[in-house]
Amino acid sequence: MSRVYNFSAGPAAVPVDVLKKAQQEMLEWHDSGMSVMEMSHRGKDFISIAEKAEADVRELMNVPENYKVLFLQGGATTQFSMVPMNLLRGKDKTCYVNTGAWSKKAIKEAKIHSNVHISASSESTNFTTIPAVDSWDVDQNAAYLHYTSNETIGGVEFHSIPDVGDIDLVADMSSNILSREFDVSKFGVIYAGGQKNMGPSGIALTIVREDLIGNVKAGSPSMMDYKNHADAGSMFNTPATYSWYLMGLVFEWIKEQGGVSAIEAQNVRKAEKLYAAIDNSDFYANPVELTSRSRMNIPFTLANAELEGLFLSEAKSAGLVTLKGHRSVGGMRASIYNAMPEEGVDALISMMAEFERTKA
Ligand code: PMP
């Protein structure tokens, strides 16, 4: 077996210890006589798996008691719709901050349900900055303000939670949840797809303050109502049981690493190294303004774009894969989520230096 260092933006690398545990438990989970995949979601074994996952993520993120933690299907994309459908509460206006490709997708969905006011946008810098929060135009009468805490494609990240006054704050944390500490009490809703920092795709985590539940827009499908999911313990329909279980194993793994603060320290180190390697070279470049750079997704270009194909094939030979940038921006992108070990980042940095020395 030769496992590679996988720099994919998502589905992304999963900690090897998690995969081994899942492998050990694949045919028979504990003494149940069956795989988790085969269990009834209503049985006591799966209920114990589900409850443990919830308790662990509550502990890891220090989720206050007046928040529900939901394990939902349809990825983060479904949350783009569920957020306005549940949070409008009879209002018409919503505020969005546009920092790139994923913000735009959230805005597009919100426009179906509401009158979207763009409170700030970094489009004029080609999405290489986070607009200064004191310049945001926030309408305090809007139903909520939505932002994307990390833009997976552009590689820009908020390094603090924006202070937007009394309006409910909503964050798409798909690509930086559990990579750094967040004060959950500052948010109305946090949501994230699973396939970056929490393991498998097919499941999204939504953390929602209780008073925001129970106001779904009239005529909405039952599956879009947070209340139905909250009342049923995320078992309103058959949940993505195996993905839920794997997510739970990832939460256990994060606890074993020392929790979110320990993981964050590792993430700071990994990102600083890779940015230093890019910045100290005349051959590689990252376009993002220094204080807006993501720790999770690091896009970079080569001075000679004709060498991109060769770079990717040399990287692959060195066991470093999925480094091609998103089709919309080109160049390279290294996604270095929690599960990417520091040795993987070191290996990429060595390969980049060697490529520059011999091919540039
Ligand atoms: N938001 C962000 C920031 C993302 O990176 C992604 C997925 N790449 C999504 C939303 C959409 O997630 P999903 O594919 O799980 O619907």
pLDDT in tens, 170-189: 999 999 999 999 999 999 99
pLDDT at 309 over 80: yes
Alpha carbon of 107 to ligand 1 centroid (Å): 13
pLDDT at 266 over 80: yes
pLDDT at 160 over 80: yes
**CB distance 188 to 168 below 8 Å:** yes
pLDDT at 327 over 90: no
Of the CA atoms within 13 Å of residue 170, those in its CB half-sphere come to 28
Given 172, 244, 253, 270, the catalytic residue: 172
Would you place residue 124 in the very low, low, confident or very high pLDDT band (cuts 50, 70, 90)?
A: very high
Work out the angle at residue 37's Cα, subtended by the Cα atoms of residues 55 and 201, and round it to the nearest 5 degrees: 65
pLDDT at 304 over 90: yes
* Average pLDDT value for residue range 45-64: 98
* Average pLDDT value for residue range 77-101: 98
Tell the residue nearest (CA) to atom 12 of ligand 1. Answer: 76
For ligand 1, mutation pick of 78, 96, 102, 178 (most atoms within 8 Å of CB): 102
User: What pLDDT score was predicted for residue 225?
Assistant: 98
User: What pLDDT score was predicted for residue 264?
Assistant: 98
**Which residues 6+ apart lie within 8 Å of 241 measured at CB?**
36, 37, 39, 41, 46
Task: Calculate the average pLDDT of the chain.
Answer: 97
* Average pLDDT value for residue range 209-236: 98
Q: Which amino acid is at 113?
A: H
User: What pLDDT score was predicted for residue 168?
Assistant: 98
> Which CATH number does 5-15+259-359 carry?
3.90.1150.10
> Boundaries of CATH 3.90.1150.10 in the chain?
5-15+259-359
User: What pLDDT score was predicted for residue 61?
Assistant: 98
> Boundaries of CATH 3.40.640.10 in the chain?
22-256
Alpha carbon of 118 to ligand 1 centroid (Å): 20
pLDDT at 138 over 90: yes
Q: How far apart are CA 121 and CA 146, in angstroms?
A: 12
**CATH 3.40.640.10 correct for 22-256:** yes
What is the maximal distance between C-alpha atoms in the chain? Answer: 63
pLDDT at 1 over 80: no
**Active site annotation includes 21:** no
Would you place residue 313 in the very low, low, confident or very high pLDDT band (cuts 50, 70, 90)?
A: very high
Question: Which of 341, 348, 335, 339 lies closest to 150, judged by CA?
Answer: 335
Alpha carbon of 171 to ligand 1 centroid (Å): 12
Would you place residue 360 in the very low, low, confident or very high pLDDT band (cuts 50, 70, 90)?
A: confident
pLDDT at 2 over 90: no
For ligand 1, mutation pick of 71, 77, 177 (most atoms within 8 Å of CB): 77
User: What pLDDT score was predicted for residue 320?
Assistant: 98
Q: Is the ipTM of this complex over 0.85?
A: yes
User: What pLDDT score was predicted for residue 328?
Assistant: 83
Full 3-state SS string of the chain:
CCCCEECCCCCCCCCHHHHHHHHHCCCCCCCCCCCHHHCCCCCHHHHHHHHHHHHHHHHHHCCCCCEEEEEECCHHHHHHHHHHHHHCCCCCEEEEEECCHHHHHHHHHHHHHCEEEEEEECHHHCCCCCCCHHHCCCCCCCCCEEEECEECCCCEECCCCCCCCCCCEEEECCCCCCCCCCCHHHCCEEEEECCCCCCCCCCEEEEEEHHHCCCCCCCCCHHHCHHHHHHCCCCCCCCCHHHHHHHHHHHHHHHHCCCHHHHHHHHHHHHHHHHHHHHCCCCEECCCCHHHECCCEEEEEECCHHHHHHHHHHHHHCCEECCECCCCCCCEEEECCCCCCHHHHHHHHHHHHHHHHHHC
